[in-house]
Structure 1
Amino acid sequence: MILIITILISFLCGSIPSGYIITKKMCGIDIRTVGSGNIGSTNVKRVAGSKASIITQIIDVAKGVTPVVVSIYLYDKLALQVDKDTFLSMIAISAILGHNYTPFLKFKGGKGVNTTLGAFFFIAPIPTAAGIAIHFLLKVITSIVSIRSIATGIMLPLMCYILQFPMAITNGALIACVLMIIRHKDNIVRLINNQEI
């Protein structure tokens, strides 16, 4: 029961639709009706500018960091019947799913890039840093954000595997990568058709 409650709390933390709230408060705009219709920081930047986008990014990262950090602290106190790596991976994925499929917006959320980086920052710091690094390195080659985001998602489990992280963490990172690719399916179609910007 305690495990279910902690997972649910993590999901709800990730579910806070920050991009929607910020653009609504700052610009009076429903972000879902403009640009790509996505509530993530990339669309927020297109619609509401850099300041709103940065605020959205910070909150989206925090939505991943917070439940994981709290869970790291509480793990020994909760006396759960599951190992720590599995537990933390479940918490991370729950936060990401909350962001991607927020119940506050009829289960239509963001693409999970910032929340994924936040969720795995303390679980797999080097793979997360590698994901961030590849995102910025690719900026030299392409201005298309979706390419950089997908590469970030792929780098996370790849580096976990190369660095021989515990299987539970590597599998969690792989699930996060798959979720990120699923959320970018429309972008992938546009990339194939040479229509992505």
Structure 2
Amino acid sequence: MNIIMIITIIISFLCGSIPTGYLITKKFRGIDIRTKGSGNIGSTNVKRIVGTKLSIITQILDVLKGIVPVTLGIYLTNTMNLPVSADIYLSIIAIATVLGHDYSPFLAFKGGKGVNTTLGAFILIAPIPTLTGIAVHFILRLFTNIVSIRSIALGVTIPVMCIVMKSPTSTIITTTIACILMTFKHKDNLIRIVHNEEK
């Protein structure tokens, strides 16, 4: 692993670490979103607390946090000779971005649940699995209003589809890690679902 790779992986982590939901609600509503609702900085909690407009902005920026580092990685793979394959390099960048979002050093290594950033990070690496995950999320809206169920289903769909489509091993591994992280981050929601308390 050369210095360029190390630097871009660090940049990817830091890009993912930008706490958009926290910054947006602080800037435009003067509140700490971590002290409201579920305490999560993601777009779902932002919507519940301050409304749809800022939630959509948060969602877009969280997706872009995933897209931008991977786009940079794609550019570098096309212009430089890297010591690993493009699949491995881009997969590392993608999961580094998701980890940054989930464990932001700007928020004492706490963060969001990673749904939107996962979508952004893998949409260019595994477009069909990612789009399938999005489709599953929206289809489930016909059956449940519980966002956490739909989000976990989205997270599970992506690595399953990567396996079905025989994606590169590195992509399967990193989408699986992202799925596990997403599920773990929803652990409180899962507990509430078990107790029939989730909304």
Q: TM-score surpassing 0.5? A: yes
2:7 alignment partner in structure 1: 5
State the match for 1:27 in structure 2.
29
1:70 paired residue number: 72
Provide the C-alpha distance between the structure 2 equivalents of 1:89 and 1:187, rounded to a whole number of angstroms: 28
AA in 2 matched with 1:74: L
Post-superposition Cα deviations, 1:92-147, rounded to whole Å, max 9, x if no partner, equal 00000110011111111000000000000000000000000000000010000000
Q: Distance in 2 between matches of 1:145 and 1:171?
A: 25
Query: What is the Cα-based RMSD across aligned positions, in Å?
Result: 0.8
For residues 43-122 of structure 1, the aligned pairs below 5 Å read 43-122=45-124
Q: Work out whether residues 2 and 78 of structure 1, in 8 Å CA contact, stay in contact via their aligned partners in 2.
A: no
Quote how far apart the aligned CAs of 1:2 are.
2.2
1:136 aligns with 2:138: yes
Q: What residue ranges of structure 1 are gaps of 5+ in the alignment?
A: none
Instruction: With the length of structure 1 as denominator, give the TM-score of the two structures.
Output: 0.98
Secondary structure (helix, strand or coil) at the match of 2:125 reads coil
Q: 2-side partners of 1:186 and 1:87: how far apart? A: 33
Q: TM-score, normalised by structure 2?
A: 0.97
- CA offsets 1:22-45 (integer angstroms, 9 cap, x no match): 111111110000000000000000
State the alpha-carbon separation in 2 of the partners of residues 13 and 100 from structure 1: 12
Shift of 1:78: 3.6
Q: Match for residue 37 of structure 1?
A: 39
* Cα distance between partner residues in 2 of 1:194 and 1:154: 22
Please state whether the residue corresponding to 1:194 is helix, strand or coil. coil
Give the percent of matched residue pairs that are identical in Structure 1 and Structure 2: 62
What is the rounded CA distance, in whole Å, between the counterparts of 1:180 and 1:196 in structure 2? 17
- Tell me if 1:147 matches 2:149: yes
Cα distance between partner residues in 2 of 1:183 and 1:99: 11
Q: Partners in 2 of 1:54 and 1:94 — Cα distance?
A: 24
3-state DSSP of counterpart to 1:164:
coil
